[in-house]
């Protein structure tokens, strides 16, 4: 063994007329089966420290392979598994997917409407917020309309009413601290963008229901676009009209139009009071979580709104 060889190489004096020393088998056995760190240093063999703080010699150590004995709790990094969708998450995704091509409900077929109502009913049965008016922090913020069955909004959403104007966004902003609601519709045209809003106060009437009283209307100041964009054609009263012959005329007056638009844009928003005693409504919230809200209004109409910034708004 390497240890005995090292011992034999130590300088010593010869003993004459004496019987050679015989090694003690028991002591050698103990030395071989219970190595110490000191003996390994003494043998000048390389020492290694592994990742859990153990001291060990090189792999060719005669004491054999090291047994792994953990010292304390050692965390082992594991790859995080993808988060599995819950039943509610799956229903929400299916609901949002069913809105595709409906233009917020304006162009939804009867079959699609039936599918949407079925998904809404299933979500309402699993509502994680049974008392929405008692969770005002969840109601607080800006909500973007994704779908409605309210026929009163359809003329506004239809491009046939304003051929060159597009509805960019319909939203509702709730301030739960001041108990105010602002409904807003943003329009974009070939020259500018603008908005029409209504301000209202709401009053809690039950764990799910609020009463809304409209107080003020606001017509936003038009904001200039970079340039006039004229489509090739528009549909008016079911008839498609070609606009190409008019593009030359429109381009010739573009500078004048921009000058007028700049003058208008410098003006403050136009506000008007709503004094009509009938300008009231109520809203029943039947589903509410961090990024989705379902409400029902007068005449059984339904509104599905998504919280601004939610991944559900991402196409």
302 domain residue, yes or no: yes
280 domain residue, yes or no: yes
Cβ atoms 286, 295 nearer than 8 A: yes
Domain span at residue 134?
Answer: 87-313
Please tell me the predicted confidence (pLDDT) of residue 226. 55
Cβ atoms 37, 18 nearer than 8 A: no
13 domain residue, yes or no: no
34 domain residue, yes or no: no
| Domains identified in the chain, total number | 1
- For residue 113, the domain's CATH number is 2.40.128.280
Helix (H, G, I), strand (E, B) or coil at 266: coil
Chunk the chain into consecutive blocks of 10 residues (it has 315) and report each block's average pLDDT, rounded to whole numbers: 45 46 47 44 47 46 51 50 82 96 93 97 96 93 96 76 78 95 89 88 95 91 65 67 68 62 71 80 94 91 96 85
Q: Is 297 left (phi over 0), alpha (psi -120 to 50) or beta?
A: beta
The structure tokens listed for 264 are 């208008």
CA 202 to CA 214: how far, in whole Å?
9
Please tell me the predicted confidence (pLDDT) of residue 26. 47
CA 314 to CA 311: how far, in whole Å?
5
Q: What is the pTM of this model?
A: 0.64
Please tell me the predicted confidence (pLDDT) of residue 114. 96
Cβ atoms 195, 185 nearer than 8 A: yes
2 domain residue, yes or no: no
The CA angle 124-128-131, to the nearest 5 degrees, is 85
Residues in the chain: 315
Please tell me the predicted confidence (pLDDT) of residue 152. 84
Helical ranges in the chain per DSSP H: 2-8, 25-33, 37-42, 87-98, 110-125, 136-139, 154-157, 244-252, 254-265
Please tell me the predicted confidence (pLDDT) of residue 237. 58
- Other Cβ atoms less than 10 A from the Cβ of 31: the count is 15
69 domain residue, yes or no: no
275 domain residue, yes or no: yes
Q: What is the pLDDT of residues 198-236, one digit of tens each?
A: 999 999 999 999 999 999 999 887 776 655 556 677 676
Please tell me the predicted confidence (pLDDT) of residue 110. 95
71 domain residue, yes or no: no
């Amino acid at each position: 063994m390497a240890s005995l060889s090292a011992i034999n190489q130590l300088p010593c004096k010869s003993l004459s007329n004496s019987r050679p020393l015989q090694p003690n088998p028991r002591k050698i056995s103990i030395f071989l089966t219970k190595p110490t760190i000191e003996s390994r240093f003494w043998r000048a063999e390389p020492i290694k420290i592994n990742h859990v703080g153990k001291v060990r010699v090189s792999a060719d150590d005669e004491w054999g392979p090291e047994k792994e004995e953990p010292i304390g709790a050692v965390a082992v990094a594991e790859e995080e598994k993808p988060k599995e969708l819950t039943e509610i998450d799956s229903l929400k995704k299916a609901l949002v997917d069913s809105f595709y091509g409906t233009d917020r409900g304006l162009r939804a077929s009867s079959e699609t409407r039936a599918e949407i109502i079925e998904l809404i009913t299933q979500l309402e049965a699993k509502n994680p917020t049974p008392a929405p008016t008692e969770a005002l922090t969840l109601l607080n913020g800006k909500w973007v309309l994704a779908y409605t069955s309210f026929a009163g909004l359809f003329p506004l959403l239809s491009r046939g009413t304003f051929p060159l104007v597009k509805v960019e966004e319909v939203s509702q902003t709730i301030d739960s601290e001041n108990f105010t609601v602002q409904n807003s519709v943003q329009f974009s045209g070939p020259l500018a963008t603008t908005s029409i809003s209504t301000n209202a106060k709401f009053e809690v009437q039950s764990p799910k229901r609020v009463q809304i009283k409209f107080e003020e209307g606001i017509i936003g100041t038009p904001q200039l676009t970079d340039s006039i964009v004229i489509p090739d054609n528009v549909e008016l009263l079911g008839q498609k009209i070609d606009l190409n012959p008019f593009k030359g005329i429109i381009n010739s007056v573009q500078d004048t139009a921009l000058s007028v638009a700049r003058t208008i844009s410098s003006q403050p928003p136009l506000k008007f009071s709503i004094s009509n005693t009938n300008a009231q409504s109520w809203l029943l919230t039947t589903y509410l979580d961090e990024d989705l809200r379902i409400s029902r209004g007068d005449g059984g109409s339904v509104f599905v709104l998504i919280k601004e910034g939610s991944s559900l708004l991402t196409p």
